[in-house]
Amino acid sequence: MKKRILTLVAVLLASAAAAQNTTAYFMEGTTFRSQLNPAFAPLQGYVNIPVLGGVSVNMNGNLSLDRILYPVNGSLVTLLDGAVPAETALDGLHSRNLLGLDTRVNLIGFGSFTRNHRNFWSFDLNLRVMTETHLPYELFDFLKRGQSTTIRDIGVYAESFIEAGFNYSMPITDKLYVGARAKFLVGAGRAHLNIDRFDVSLNEDSWTADASGRIDVTAAGLDFETTPTSDGRETFQLDDADYSFKGPAGYGFALDLGATYQVLPDLQVSLAVNDLGFICWSKSDTRTGVMNKDLNFEGGGHRRPRCTRSGFRPRGIRV
């Protein structure tokens, strides 16, 4: 009984302090948990099978899963599904709803103990895709009720990069174990869309929206077909992008730091801080545009809208 209580305390402490996937975090001997805390070492050396060696998807934000997915007729649907009443879908949403996803795919991974079988080193090559969104309550209210409204501050950010990390962990005392991972980052691309204003008016047979915002896209080999305007600027459409991979779009460096301490024979506490670093994205591979335009959507009521073409006006595009 005592051992079970101590184990439960350890789980609660780590869940509150680290906010990590507790299933993988406490599976002793697994190679994947060293990604969560570099002080953890598996029971033996390893060589991962590419891709199958580790795929993880972590979600974070201020929305619980039961506020996004709802059971309807034996299946799960999103809160935007017509089968979910508006009152039910909107209940519990925040004024600013945050949602982030961090996907990690292990491409190469191997590690081994040193001769003393106490120090452990490893090397991993991962593909990372990170996305973040912040969506106001008014946006969901419009999508569910279809009424005229004023919407502010819609943001979407995504980036993808390759992460090459070298990890080393070792004991300091019989109870204290520390580890660190140095990671070299190679950026593949990123995109940042922020809509400052999206005022929607619902007419009898159409929707109109007064929108303004900004978009930044960085990727080597990305180009847009532009059209000159009478004021000496240019416009481009997002669906007119031409992309051919020409190399990295940025470089960076990051650190993971971790430690474990054996308080009692059956109680171990741990702490980790991950992704302390930066990526410098190439200015020459960045395309920037601003939008200030009225949008028209054909079809009134709750019919699915068909969007007419709308343009972004670039500002400071570097070619």
Q: What is the pLDDT of residue 92?
A: 82
Q: What's phi and psi for 274, nearest 5 deg? A: -115, 155
Top mean-pLDDT range of 18-27, 64-73, 106-115: 106-115
Top mean-pLDDT range of 46-50, 134-138, 200-204, 239-243: 134-138
Question: For 4-22, what is the mean pLDDT?
Answer: 38
Looking at 56-65, 232-241, 269-278, which range is the least confident one? 232-241
Closest CA to 129 of 190, 68, 181, 60: 190
**Cα–Cα distance for residue pair 115/64, rounded to 1 Å:** 46
Q: What is the pLDDT of residue 309?
A: 34
pLDDT digits (tens, 9 = 90+) for 175-189: 999 999 999 999 999
**Torsion angle (degrees, nearest 10) of CA 202, 206, 212, 216:** 130
Strands 222-228 vs 306-307: parallel, antiparallel or unpaired: unpaired
Q: What is the pLDDT of residue 284?
A: 86
pLDDT digits (tens, 9 = 90+) for 256-307: 999 999 999 889 899 999 999 999 999 888 888 887 777 776 654 444 443 3
**Better pLDDT: 310 or 221:** 221
**Cα–Cα distance for residue pair 255/22, rounded to 1 Å:** 22
